[in-house]
Amino acid sequence: MIKLSLPKIKCKDVFAACLTSLPEDNEGKDYIKKLNKIKSKMLVEWRLFDHRAGTVDLHLFQASSHGNKSQSVIDEVSKDEFVKLYTEYMVKGGAVPRDVYNVIRASSNGLCPLCGISIVTTVDHYLPKARYPIFSIYTKNLVPACDTCNKGKGSSVYKSKESQPLHPYFSSNHFYRTDWIKANVLKTTPLSFLFYVDPPKNWSATDQERIKNHFNDFNLQAKYSINASQFLTIIKQNIKSVLGRGGDDKDVNETLISFADSEKPNSTLRVILYAMANDKDICNGLYL
Ligand SMILES: [Zn+2]
């Protein structure tokens, strides 16, 4: 999981830029007129999004029902017309709105902030556009994501604080600076790991439940397991080198822990280093 800064893009400008990408025929002009008419109501909802994202209350927004593209969202503007602002006029539209999309997509240095493991391939709507069309182009609702996190989340509707995944722009630092993912070593060939959530006991029940849901919703057990395999060779070499110099299991334990301490909280490498350091057999050079 990676914490991101809020996009430094004025939301009103994004709305204006999308409107400039609309066709100049009569249909396009009607669409612009309708959107301009509801602009102030839309901005009120966008401001409410900031407030509710900060207090983890995004579940209080009323979700649109499935399908029925023509249902009204604000006055005469339909669900489909809001969604199109994103699909047609931001993603495929003119240079300025597409730049906004590109800036958001690139804002995580290529790594998906939802899992912290896979490469960013897309932009995810935190509140899915199919159910919350009013936020289809709202930049604070747009998060860079990998394919599996994006698809895994689908068009879920959040019904409580606990069901909301961590939001890379809004979630508090303690989620990113504290270890809450742990692992046990499984003595398989090759070695593998069972990852699990172990939140600090002094966290609120909501926070504890929220990260458990985040872990399950993005299938982090599978992601971490696949990611872990790439680090095994280097860790085994470290263990061999300590034992080869005449060190014992305590020396291996200390070496692995100091290696882990230099990695980011909850990163796969840190989690498996702690797990291996706590396993006496591993530190004694078995399973190498
Ligand atoms: Zn991801």
pLDDT of residue 72: 87
Distance 104 CA to ligand 1 centre (A): 15
C-beta of residue 103 within 8 angstroms of C-beta of residue 123: no
- Give the per-residue pLDDT at 177: 97
pLDDT tier at 271, thresholds 50, 70, 90: very high
Please tell me the distance between residue 273's alpha carbon and the centre of ligand 1 in angstroms: 22
pLDDT in tens, 233-257: 999 999 999 999 999 999 999 999 9
CB 59 within 8 A of CB 159: yes
Report how far ligand 1's centroid is from the alpha carbon of 3 (Å): 13
The lowest-confidence range among 7-21, 183-197, 199-213 is 7-21
Residue 146 Cα to ligand 1 midpoint, Å, equals: 4
What is the chain's mean pLDDT, rounded?
Answer: 93
For 63-72, 115-124, 126-135, 179-188, which range has the lowest pLDDT when averaged over its residues? 63-72
Measured between alpha carbons, how far is 137 from 142 in angstroms, rounded to an integer? 7
